[in-house]
């Protein structure tokens, strides 16, 4: 049995392998950039007006003849004389020898000419070519998170594809003779299977959309056979159930017989103690407790950072926040507690009903409050650390 911190560092060490893939811009949200991207063009690609107004060659003169119109998207070969101006719009090409744009609010105009009432300084309202970025300059550095703004920035440079770190493929193996699929009638002694759809949803929150679910009976042979196939096909395997100490908890044996190397088994925490973590080649295996609340707790604490690590994130854990505790907490277990809690802008309250078999509390919680194993009591009003979930 190991402490939570040790388990976390073993997982962090063993989940660093990253793979690279090409991805199209419109699918790239939430990935981490696997290469530094350089701009194929200057942006703006030409001198651009930043206002609706009139482009001219800056001088002492206030009156100019209008010799044309340049709309955004036009390419103009107009060459202005000293007393000439062109009507121009935001984003439009500024004629080669013009150096200044006066905004339309600062002129009086008729059809043929303008009178500048407030003279701008030279170069005003002209965006230079490459002002935002020059050709071959760095667009985004390797390891940048692809946000909507990053997608917009890459797209405006004409980039259609980038290299990112791959998301791992994930399989969920559910064991348990007592489990019946929702929608069917519930025979006596059985319960509905819910961990697979719950874990799939939890995986969706970090962008893993298609975790494949396998189900086997509580039977060593069946589990061994299923695992043999799954271990060769997926980057991460979550096994749900069969990992306690009972005679029918055969998952560990099935894993070891398939050549999975044990990295740890059992963590000094509540809920979620009976968890196995191991690896075979590059595949990581998390055998999670069958109790739903334990399973989801361990997903957030252990599986989440492993997946983030594989995706190339530098900050792999759930974000921690600090709040003022609304009630006393006693911890006589000597274990690290992860308590379902509800926080607001300043405070946090531990919810009633912390049983590992129950999801009713988890379903209305917005955070897990951490009580370290060596902390025996926390008083009302003290600051505590929690992990927002949702």
| Binders of a copy of itself in range 169-188 (CB under 8 A) | 176-179, 182-184, 186-188
Q: Residue 15 and residue 312: Cα distance in Å, rounded?
A: 10
Q: Is 111 in the site for a copy of itself (CB under 8 A)?
A: no
- Residue 363 as a binder of a copy of itself (CB under 8 A): the answer is yes
Q: Determine, following the binding rule CB under 8 A, whether residue 153 of this chain makes contact with a copy of itself.
A: yes
Footprint on residues 218-257 left by a copy of itself (CB under 8 A): 218, 244-248
How many angstroms separate the CA atoms of 141 and 260, rounded?
A: 37
Q: Is 2 exposed, middle or buried (0-12, 13-18, 19+ CB in 10 A)?
A: middle
- Does 192 interact with a copy of itself (rule: CB under 8 A)? yes
**Can you tell me the distance from the alpha carbon of 390 to that of 366, in angstroms, rounded to the nearest whole number?**
6
Q: Which member of 57, 157, 170, 226 binds a copy of itself (CB under 8 A)? A: 157
User: What does the DSSP assignment read for 32-100?
Assistant: BBSS-EE-SS-BSSS-EESSSEEEE--SS--EEEEEEEE-TT--------TTEEEEE-TTPBPPTT--E
Q: Give the x-and-dash track for 2-21 against a copy of itself (CB under 8 A).
A: --------------------
Total number of residues shown for the chain: 390
- Spatial separation of the C-alpha atoms in residues 336 and 270, rounded to whole Å: 6
Nearer to a copy of itself, 39 or 279 (CB): 39
Closest to a copy of itself by CB, 272 vs 290, is 290
- Minimum Å gap between C-beta 38 and a copy of itself is 13
Taking the CA atoms of residue 209, residue 211, residue 212 and residue 213 in that order, the dihedral angle to the nearest 10 degrees is: -120
Nearest residue to 36 (alpha-carbon basis) of 152, 104, 111, 136: 136
Q: Site mask, a copy of itself, residues 60-99, x = CB under 8 A?
A: -----------xxxxxx----------x-xxxxx------
Least separation in angstroms between CB 63 and a copy of itself: 22
Q: What is the DSSP letter of 25?
A: G
Chain-centroid distance of CA 99 in Å reads: 44
Q: Does 387 bind a copy of itself (CB under 8 A)?
A: no
Q: Does 143 bind a copy of itself (CB under 8 A)?
A: no
With CB under 8 A, what is the number of residues at the site for a copy of itself? Answer: 93
- Whether 144 and 28 have beta carbons less than 8 Å apart is answered as no
For a copy of itself, the closer CB: 40 or 259 = 40
Q: Which is nearer to a copy of itself, 12 or 151 (CB)?
A: 151
Write the binding mask 288 to 307 for a copy of itself: x where contact by CB under 8 A, - elsewhere.
--x-xx--x--x--------
- The smaller minimum CB distance to a copy of itself, of residues 330 and 363, is found at 363
* Cα 67–chain centre separation: 52
Residue of 83, 124, 144, 169 that binds a copy of itself (CB under 8 A):
144
The correct pick among 36, 59, 205, 232 for binding a copy of itself (CB under 8 A) is: 205
Specify the 3-state DSSP secondary structure of 306: helix
Is 259 a residue that touches a copy of itself (CB under 8 A)?
A: no
Shortest Å, Cβ 268 to a copy of itself: 17
Interacting residues with a copy of itself between 314 and 343 (CB under 8 A): none
Q: Please give the full DSSP string across 99-162, using - where no structure is assigned.
A: -EEEEGGGEEE-SSEEEESSPPPTTTTEEPTTSSB-TTSEEE-TT-B--HHHHHHHHHTT--EE
What's the closest the beta carbon of residue 60 comes to a copy of itself, in angstroms? 28
Q: In the complex, what is the shortest distance from the CB of residue 215 to a copy of itself, in angstroms, rounded to a whole number?
A: 13
* φ, ψ (nearest 5 deg) of residue 48: -125, 140
Of positions 118, 201, 375, 383, contacts a copy of itself by CB under 8 A: 201
**Which of residues 121 and 315 has its CB atom nearest to a copy of itself in the complex?**
315
- The answer to whether 9 touches 107, Cβ cutoff 8 Å, is no
- Check residue 135 for interaction with a copy of itself (CB under 8 A): no
Options 204, 261, 347, 377; binder of a copy of itself; rule CB under 8 A: 204
Q: Is residue 36 involved in binding a copy of itself (CB under 8 A)?
A: no
Contact 63, 176 (CB under 8 A): no
- Record the tokens describing residue 212, joined without a space: 């494949």
End-to-end CA distance of the chain: 29
- Asked if 199 touches a copy of itself (CB under 8 A), the answer is yes
């Amino acid at each position: 049995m190991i402490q939570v911190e040790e388990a976390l560092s073993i997982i962090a060490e063993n989940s660093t392998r990253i793979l690279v893939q090409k991805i199209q811009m419109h699918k790239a949200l939430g990935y981490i950039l696997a290469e530094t991207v350089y701009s194929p063009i200057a942006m703006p690609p030409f001198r651009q007006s930043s206002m609706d107004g009139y482009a001219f060659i800056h001088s002492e003169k206030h009156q100019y003849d209008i010799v044309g119109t340049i709309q955004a998207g036009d390419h103009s070969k107009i060459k202005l004389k000293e007393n000439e101006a062109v009507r121009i719009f935001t984003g439009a090409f500024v004629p080669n020898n013009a150096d200044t744009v006066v905004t339309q609010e600062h002129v009086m105009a008729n059809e043929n000419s303008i009178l500048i009432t407030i003279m701008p300084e030279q170069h005003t309202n002209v965006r230079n070519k490459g002002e935002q970025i020059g050709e071959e300059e760095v667009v985004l550095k390797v390891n940048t998170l692809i946000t909507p703004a990053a997608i917009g920035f890459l797209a405006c440079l004409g980039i259609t594809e980038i290299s990112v770190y791959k998301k791992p493929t994930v399989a969920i193996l559910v064991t348990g003779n007592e489990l019946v699929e929702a929608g069917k009638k519930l025979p006596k002694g059985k319960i509905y299977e819910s961990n697979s759809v719950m874990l799939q949803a939890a995986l969706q929150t970090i962008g893993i959309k298609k975790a494949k679910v396998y189900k086997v009976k509580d039977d060593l042979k069946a589990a061994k056979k299923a695992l043999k196939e799954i271990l060769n096909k997926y980057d991460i395997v979550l096994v749900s159930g069969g990992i306690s100490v009972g005679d029918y908890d055969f998952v560990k044996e099935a894993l070891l017989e398939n050549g999975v190397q044990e990295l740890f088994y059992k963590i000094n925490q509540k809920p979620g103690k009976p968890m196995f973590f191991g690896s075979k080649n590059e595949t990581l295996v998390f055998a999670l407790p069958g109790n739903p609340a334990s399973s989801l707790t361990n997903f957030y604490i252990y599986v989440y950072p492993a997946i983030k690590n594989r995706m190339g994130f530098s900050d792999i854990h759930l974000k921690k926040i600090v709040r003022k505790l609304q009630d006393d907490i006693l911890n006589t277990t000597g274990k690290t507690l992860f308590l379902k809690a509800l926080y607001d802008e300043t405070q946090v309250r531990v919810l009633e009903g912390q049983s590992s078999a129950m999801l009713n509390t988890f379903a209305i919680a917005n955070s897990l409050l951490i009580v370290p194993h060596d902390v025996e009591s926390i008083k009302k009003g003290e600051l505590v650390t929690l992990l927002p979930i949702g």
